[in-house]
Structure 1
Amino acid sequence: MADVSLAVDVAVPARVAYDQWSRFEEFPEFMPTVLSFEHPDETHLSWTLLDSTGREQRMHAEITEQVPGERISWRSTDGGFAGIVTFRPTGARSCRVTLQHSTLPEGDRGQFGDEPGLEKELTRVNLESFKKHMESTWPPPE
């Protein structure tokens, strides 16, 4: 099983970070490996990503748990991967965002496995992009 777990400290309240993350359709605006995103209903997600080899991959998942302000968990609809993102306050105006994802034993390695070091780097780039986006847009102008 290929596992990636990384965290980034963001200078915004946890609820603000969670609220932005849960607007999945905005990922392509600030995450360089997310090319497109669709949210067909409340629990299903589909996106096109650049994988660790630079190829486009289409992925489909369902949200398995969503606790507002705290965490979102998902699992691919074909059983290939799973993940969770958590938002933990580190102060009144700061939080730690931790992103974990795994290729499940029955899954196609695709996005999450042939190059675990590259996958970790892509995750780091996306988290750093999220941090930069959040800190440059919060607080919103009055």
Structure 2
Amino acid sequence: MHIHGGVSGWAMFPEPKERVMAEDVQAPVNSARTSFTPLPDAKQVGDLYVALPKGNKDGVEWAHARQTILVEPQALYELWKDETSYPLWMEHVVSVTPGEGKTSHWVIGDPEDADGKRIQFDSELTEDVPGQKIAWKSTGGEVEQSGSVEFKARKDGRGTVVTLIQGVKVGALASFAASVAKRGPKQTVIEDLRHFKQMAEAGEIPSVKGQAHGPRGMSGGIKEWMYGETNPTPPGTSEGPLTAKE
């Protein structure tokens, strides 16, 4: 038996029958992890995880966002394919007018400021897989950008994983576009996909416009400026949510 002495008395502990060395202890296996669980900032191809593009590469500022939306992939695809609805959920999109073939004309600015700055450019679809993926690129105008959105049903049946990727050519025009939107490319992608989720699931985009709040302090003021929280909220739609897949 081991006897351990102390200032206030003695304590006796039985000798262990067998010593266990640290290297003999095996870490438990996380059986809760499944083959389809996505890693942060990555997309899965089979069992292989591929990092999504982000940051500045070859003069293009890449950004991405991902949301799980409780709606079937086909319904989400059809909602995204409706270009005329973009002003309802994309920030600072004044109008999108379908053109010939797979083209469209975009006008960007503050919808609430009729006399404010406007940026215009044309875009065309480069890939269109019904219910799965839409990709695009600009073809002329004041902005050089490209991107894609993918819709992938979760294997557990709980909605659709939507991944949005977008790249904007860095330069004077991109800076001008950012000044109009009051957001950087990364935050713009995050907010647009968040609004898309709200409209798809709830049929509308919540707004706190007109609601009073107390002083936010220095930290709150910095975040308000960084994230463009004074941007007008897209109007959304009152047609009701899409059919969710339970």
Short-chain TM bin: 0.7 to 0.9
Decide whether aligned partners of structure 1 residues 118 and 103 sit closer, same or farther in structure 2, where only a CA change above 3 A counts: closer
Runs (5+) with no aligned partner, structure 1: none
Q: Point out 4+ residue stretches in structure 1 off by more than 6 angstroms.
A: none
**CA distance in structure 2 between the partners assigned to 1:55 and 1:9 by the alignment:** 34
Letter in 1 for 2:135: S
**CA distance in structure 2 between the partners assigned to 1:72 and 1:122 by the alignment:** 18
**CA distance in structure 1 between the partners assigned to 2:138 and 2:190 by the alignment:** 21
TM-score, reference length from structure 1:
0.81
Q: Is the CA contact 2:109–2:118 (under 8 Å) kept in the aligned structure 1?
A: yes
Letter in 1 for 2:186: K
Secondary structure (helix, strand or coil) at the match of 1:127 reads: helix
Partner of 2:209: none
- Residue 141 of structure 2 is aligned to residue 82 of structure 1: no
TM-score, reference length from structure 2:
0.49
Partner of 2:108: 49
Shift of the alpha carbon at 1:106?
A: 9.2
Shift of the alpha carbon at 1:104?
A: 4.4
Percent identity between the two aligned chains: 24
Decide whether aligned partners of structure 1 residues 76 and 33 sit closer, same or farther in structure 2, where only a CA change above 3 A counts: same
Higher helix share: 1
Partner of 1:138: 242
Q: Which residue of 59, 64, 81 corresponds with 2:126?
A: 64
**CA distance in structure 1 between the partners assigned to 2:185 and 2:195 by the alignment:** 15
**CA distance in structure 2 between the partners assigned to 1:121 and 1:105 by the alignment:** 16
Runs (5+) with no aligned partner, structure 2: 1-59, 111-115, 203-240
Tell me the C-alpha RMSD between the 2 structures: 2.9
How is 1:1-142 mapped onto 2 (pairs within 5 angstroms)? 1-50=60-109, 55-78=117-140, 80-90=144-154, 91-92=156-157, 94-104=159-169, 108-109=173-174, 110-111=176-177, 118-136=184-202, 137-139=241-243
